[in-house]
Amino acid sequence: MAGRISEELARAVSHVLSELIIQGSIRIEALSDYDAMVQHSLHGWLQYAFIKAADQLGLIAVPETKIPYDHPLSPSALVPCAAKRCRHSKRVDIGFFRPGGRLLGIGECFTLDEFHGSLSSAELYKEVSKHIAVKRPWITPRDTILHLVKYAKLGFRPDFVLLLITLPYDLRVKHAKWPDQRLLIEKGSDFFHRKWLELVDEIRKFGISAHLIRLSDKDIWLDGELSIVFSREGLEERVKRWLSLASSLIIKAFSGPPEKGWKWIGDKYARKKLGLY
């Protein structure tokens, strides 16, 4: 049941995002430029896409839903030099509820400043500390989400998790502001897309339905598959890739001798069935 609802919701979110982009509510430049992202309130529009899609399916979407833990998250257990203070809850971007108040699932939105949030806190710290001194390590969304699905209090454990990431094809300096982001840009968007998909797989291991929506500056991907193309350039590139694939195939009709088969059918019977008599 949760799997069906979450899949329908993920598809509805994808279509709402496409509509918002086509009508100009979500600006294309906000999907590929850090300053434009901030100026045009991209994160708020992503939350709105969750809310509108939920409404279409008869669900209630509540921003900034608080999920309490049975077992607190200790940042210093993830990265030794991190803050000592434990976290006893997490506020998620959206909580999805049935009418009547039962929590069904959660949704999290990640804009350009968190494209690397699929790395573990320890992995990020190791990568960045090779180049700069890290005073306050970031506890990444990967670790906080996995902690939530493991230790959310009874009645707050989600049946599904939807992750919505903003990840353009060509990561450049304009997509990042902070030093840790700039140091990781060279890994490329494909690398981070795979890491987000790996996070989804990890969530599913806990018996929770999970889906990843990737919003680029040209199209929308759902669970690693291209779902919606909303830019002319994206359509042209897709056609070019198809033409390239088609032209690379060399197919000769009946290029080989036929193999004998259907030996139980006699020659006379076959000719009669084919109208040759």
Give residue limits of the domains in the chain: 2-248
Express each pLDDT in 32-89 by its tens digit.
Answer: 888 899 999 999 999 999 999 999 999 999 999 999 999 999 998 998 878 778 999 9
Which residues contact residue 214 at a Cβ distance below 8 angstroms, ignoring those fewer than 6 apart? 165, 167, 193, 196, 220, 221, 222
Average of pLDDT values for 217-225? 94
Q: Which residues of 62-87 are buried (b: 16+ CB within 10 A; e: fewer)?
A: eeebebebeeebebeebbeebeeeee
Average pLDDT, the chain: 86
* pLDDT for position 266: 61
Name which of 99-113, 214-228, 234-248 the model is least confident about.
234-248
Express each pLDDT in 6-34 by its tens digit.
Answer: 999 999 999 999 999 999 999 999 998 88
Q: Tokens representing 160?
A: 């599904």
